[in-house]
Amino acid sequence: MRRAATIWRVKDLAQTLDAVKATRSRTEKLALLAGLLKTLDDRALVAACRVIIGAPLAVQDSRALGVGWALLLEATLAASHLDEGALLHAARTAGDFGDGLEPLWPAGRDGIPLVEVLELFEGLAASDSRDDKRERLTAALRRCSAGEAKYLVKALLGELRIGVQRGTLDDALALAFDLPAASVRAASALTPDVGTLALLVKHHRLTEASIEPGRVVAFMLATPAETVKEPVDPSRTIVEDKLDGVRVQAHVVDGRVTLFARGTGDVTATFPEVVSALAALPGQVVLDGEVLAVTADGGPRPFQALQARLGRTAPDAAALAQTPVAFVAYDVLFDGASLLQAPWTERRRRLEQLGVRLNPVTPLEPTQPVDTQLEGLFAQARARGHEGLMLKRIDAPYEAGSRGSAWRKVKRALATLDVVITRAERGHGKRAGVLSDYTFAVWSGEALVEIGKAYSGLTDAEIASLTTRLQAIAVGTDGRYLRVRPEIVLEVAFDGLQPSKRHDSGFALRFPRIVRLRDDKAPKDADRLDTVRALFDAQVQSGHREASPQLGLFDDQAR
């Protein structure tokens, strides 16, 4: 008698993810994930992996699901008949929509098969109708158990936060199917779609993973220089300017150009002038580089200027004229054949033969102190309008997906400000129970005006202590925020300033991070808006910022 196929449901995955979230042990996380993954059939395995890392569609799929918070709320209410006020209150209290709805969800539902999650994602991406999307979501949620609803919502909103990054999942797949973790990670770098990777691992076909022009591969990443323990070897190191644009992988296949931005997928339609500039390259080529906003003479403009082009899938003639861009290459991954294992020197030689715009390089002088050389090169890079330096080993291969010491980035904070906390909110994941995100302000006359928000830089112990202090000085709530008396001072570092309509100061900090608590300072001793204006004016004069307000992409950006 033929055995009936096992129907794996999302609740099986949900139970595993609950256990994964509950432990801080990476070894235990891997064992839990591997224990589930090795039991799944092909389709269920693909679905599970996509949910785990919150990537509903394949990386090369340029479509969007078109599901926002408002649409998901409508579908959730229709599927559960919950009171909207109660659900919103629960979500605010939990700090997460999925976590908030789980305890309120109706009991007694059988659950939805994992394979149907793939069908749901595909249907949402294929539909152009908001009503149709809502109906699909409602129908799926009506069948979900509480745990299933929680994780489906989290996956759709990109709010999984269970401590599982792509590297963790790679290692779990290796453990599940008895393959070396290093081999799986190497294949993962060449196989951005986690579903495809999972099948290659399950069926022991890792040799099929290879660089293929037209299919994005993982970018090689740089490590902050101050976190690398080994010293710089000047005889084997070159220096480039660290460009302030969008990291882009350019694939040219017989005149057809496809552009992939790191973290955002296919951006070919966003930068048509880059497509035109690269289309003449012969054969098959894959370049790594940066798209920059440029002046009329080709010089770099600050990233602030490039914001006007981001998110526009079909920029009109006015946008192209107002914010022209250029692609600056600094590596080649494929030129008729894979160059990933070739040393930087060979890749650079091949890159220089292609005739594209290049990021210039400067070799370090072995007989001179490294720190002295870097000081001078850093000043020169800043004078050219760039944000820092990149140090690269000339004997290193292109380590796709790796963040090692072969590439190091040298950046420095523009400045620090002493600011006063005005609001706080709960974090996510392991920080859901503490106040870990802080909105802060500077003085304008006798009033405090908000200028940004940060969450990084404090230890868990400091956050726990600060949570107690903030709760003691709370004066009310504002949605998900806890408003507090202005009593606590922070020192905050940041990479730049730009005009912003979001904050009442009129400015936003770029990449703010907390340096330390300043309990030695009273709130009245915090910095003033005049100081902020002076810092911004200095940036404008040096060419590192432009005076006009932009889209505010860095408002509240601490992550």
Q: How far apart are the first and last CA of the chain?
A: 56
Distance in angstroms (rounded) separating the CA atoms of residues 120 and 113 = 11
Q: If DSSP codes are grouped into helix, strand and coil, which group holds residue 217?
A: coil
Nearest to 453 by CA among 504, 509, 529, 522: 509
- Both tokens assigned to 269: 């339609």
Residue type for 81, please? H
Q: Quick one: tokens of 425?
A: 């909110």
CB atoms within 10 A of CB 230: 6
Instruction: Report d(CA 168, CA 75) in Å as an integer.
Output: 32
Relative to beta strand 325-335, strand 361-363 is unpaired
Cβ-Cβ contacts under 8 Å for 12 (sequence gap 6 or more): 36, 114
Active-site residue identified among 21, 133, 154, 242:
242
Neighbour tally for 480: CB within 10 Å: 14
The tally of CA atoms less than 13 A away on the side-chain side of residue 282 is 3
User: Structure tokens of 173?
Assistant: 């797949």
Distances (CA, A) of 555 to 157, 323, 416, 537: 20, 21, 17, 19
Cα–Cα distance between 327 and 448 in angstroms, integer?
Answer: 42
∠ CA 370-374-380, rounded to 5°: 150
Q: Is 543 left (phi over 0), alpha (psi -120 to 50) or beta?
A: left
C-alpha distances out from residue 551 to 176, 192, 455, Å = 45, 30, 22
How many alpha carbons fall within 13 Å on the CB side of residue 353?
10
Q: Would residue 372 be called left, alpha or beta, if left means φ above 0 and alpha means ψ between -120 and 50 degrees?
A: alpha
If DSSP codes are grouped into helix, strand and coil, which group holds residue 503? coil
3-state helix, strand, coil in the chain (%, to 5): 40, 25, 35
Residue type, 64: A
Tokens in use for 458? 């404090």
Looking at 66-165, list the stretches that DSSP marks H as alpha helix, in order from N- to C-terminal side. 69-80, 84-94, 97-101, 114-126, 130-142, 146-157
* 74 burial type by CB count under 10 A (0-12 exposed, 13-18 middle, 19+ buried): middle
For 75-216, strand residue ranges (E) read: none
- Partnered with residue 84 across adjacent β-strands are none
Q: Is position 242 annotated as part of the catalytic site?
A: yes
Angle in degrees, 0-180, between the axes of helices 10-22 and 26-37, rounded to the nearest 10? 170
Q: What token pair was written down for 433?
A: 């129970």
Active site members: 242
